[in-house]
Structure 1
Amino acid sequence: MSVIKENILETLAYFDMFDYPLTRAELYLFLQQKHSFEVFDNALQRLLDNGVIHQFDKFYTLKNDHHLAVRRNEGNKKAAELTKVAEKVGNMLIRFPFVRGIAISGSLSKNFADDNSDIDLFIITAKNKLWIARTIMHCFKKLTFLVNKEHLFCMNYYIDEQQLQIAEQNIYTAIEVCTLIPLQGDTVFEKFYAANSWTRDFLPNKNMRISSAKPVRNRFFKNLYELLFNNKAGNALDNKLMKITASRWLKKTRQKRLNSHGIIMAMDTGKHFAKPEPTNFQSKLLARYERRIAYILNEYENSLSN
């Protein structure tokens, strides 16, 4: 099998795990190796002609299921509506102390939503103040439960300006980084993308979006609060909040408490980050992806020999 055909199948295999067919342009952007569009287009047509992949409307998929195109179109419409809400959420949360950047992550950043979708948010904080910022934001989130709006404030991934590079570097994290939709913090996201240029090793055709982020405005009360904690006492408080939060999450993990997606609750914590434990969803997804690719390539080789 040619490299370009293998790349196409690998890309479709990844997004098919989420029942998300791709347009021709998207498929090209998410290829894991660099190819000319002409070579890509010819290989794509051959795979279509041989019945290896399927096209429904403007979407391509490995699954012979037209409903996937219908589902995607509906999901894109709902995503457009939910993104407008996310922009308002970002406008609110950027006012919190030590928050420097906010981006949409998760399925919404891939332009998909359904009736049960959350607004997943990626947060960048000031250096060494992540845990103060996170604690204040999550105290606010407690209030959103009172009005059933908690799904609009899923602040589940934090990093600070001290450590902008994502530690895990694989196809999953590369896609997550490259599909972020920055809402606030144009300057900090320029630095973030520069620190994560490794994503080009996995997605050489995909450009990361900075232009969508607004510049952070100076606000009197935010600046005043930050001034009060930009000292040794503030650093001590940040360390204390990190230890308290890590201890509470470890307890949840040991009790095998499940989140709304049926996954054991676990958080990976450090001075400069707070994120979902990668050995849970991420590792399982990558293992599933490898099995899926092996199966698809094997089926393709068998079809050629018959």
Structure 2
Amino acid sequence: MVDQELKKAILQTIKYSDHFHFPLTLTELHQRLIGYRISKSSLSASLNSLIKSNLLSQKNNYYFLPQKSTLVKRRGLYARLSIPLYTYAQSLLPTLTRISSVRGIFLTGSLAMSNTDGHDDIDLMIITASGKLWTTRLLLTVYTTLLGLRRTRNASNIMGKLCLNLYLTTSSLTIPISKRSIYSAYELIQIVPLYDPHNLHAQLLTSNPWVNDYLPNYPMPKSTTHQISFMQYPMYEKLFYHFQYLYMKPRITREYITLDAAFFHPNDPAPKV
């Protein structure tokens, strides 16, 4: 018989994934299991018990809710349809990295999971040099807009358009407390490095150990000691920050905006799941 807390954690994790129409393998389910530490072998035995109780179903090594077997075929199809979009995103790196203060570019959202129909936009996390977030954002916004690469407000065709919805700096890799949730924990472990010459991916994960509070089975990289740096902002950086903040202010809802971080994705699906 499956422990009730474990049963709740498994079903919560599967239902969360079902929100994105995404069945999970055993390894994925183990790493993404919400709030319950367990070995993979013990989890496998519990899953078999839940399948026998008709609370879960399994097909081709994927787990999902009953009556959702079509998601397995969908996942394979969407993985194939995502390839051209992923290849296109990679092709844009020489253009995006012409901005010298760009230190890392990471794929987020559905394309990072190879879970698109090939007609989606491309969500990117940009990590900038310390103290140059708003200078970098201004240059990238103008540059990608002029080139027709950026998704604009009320655009009718979003296919392949860049959505630059998250900015951090090399000195501000820790996600602020107000933005921590199951959703942001998943987003962090799912990001795909596109441009990462400074190994910021590992630093990003080690800077956010709180992820294991939500996902205790996820294998976080071993923490390394980082030198504490004191932020210094050039005068033009402060001016660019205030200029862009004033421009965005009338439309700000749940966005999180500081000198060192900018989260422009106000929709968190976690409360809906």
- TM-score of the pair, normalised by structure 2: 0.83
- Cα distance in 1, alignment partners of residues 118 and 92 from structure 2: 18
**Residue 166 of structure 1: aligned partner:** 175
Alpha-carbon spacing, 1:42–1:149, altered in 2? closer, same or farther (3 Å): closer
1:237 aligns with 2:221: no
**Residue 5 of structure 1: aligned partner:** 7
1:192 CA displacement: 1.9
Among residues 145, 148, 157, which one is paired with 2:166 in the alignment?
157
- Cα distance in 1, alignment partners of residues 121 and 66 from structure 2: 26
1:150 CA displacement: 7.6
**Residue 288 of structure 1: aligned partner:** 272
1:206 aligns with 2:218: yes
Among residues 10, 24, 27, which one is paired with 2:26 in the alignment?
24
Which shows bigger deviation, 153-162 or 65-74?
65-74
Unaligned runs of 5+ in 2: 151-156, 222-231
1:70 CA displacement: 2.1
Counterparts of residues 1-306 of structure 1 (less than 5 Å): 2=3, 3-32=5-34, 33-145=36-148, 151-167=160-176, 168-185=179-196, 186-207=198-219, 235-253=234-252, 267-276=255-264, 280-282=266-268, 285-289=269-273
Percent of residue pairs bearing the same amino acid type: 27
Letter in 2 for 1:276: F
Letter in 2 for 1:172: Y
SS state of the match for residue 127, structure 2? strand
Which shows bigger deviation, 168-177 or 57-66?
57-66
- TM-score of the pair, normalised by structure 1: 0.75
SS state of the match for residue 93, structure 2? helix
Number of equivalences: 251
Q: CA RMSD in A?
A: 2.4
**Residue 224 of structure 2: aligned partner:** none
Q: Is the 8 A contact 1:182 1:189 kept in 2?
A: yes
Q: Is the 8 A contact 1:128 1:238 kept in 2?
A: yes
More helix by share: 1
Q: Is the 8 A contact 1:99 1:125 kept in 2?
A: yes
Letter in 2 for 1:116: H
- Cα distance in 2, alignment partners of residues 149 and 15 from structure 1: 24
SS state of the match for residue 160, structure 2? helix
1:63 CA displacement: 4.4
- Cα distance in 2, alignment partners of residues 286 and 61 from structure 1: 18
State the structure with bigger RCO (CA 8 A, min sep 6), 1 or 2: 2
Query: Deviation digits for residues 157-192 of structure 1, max 9, x if unmatched?
Result: 001122110112221111101111112224333322
SS state of the match for residue 145, structure 1? coil
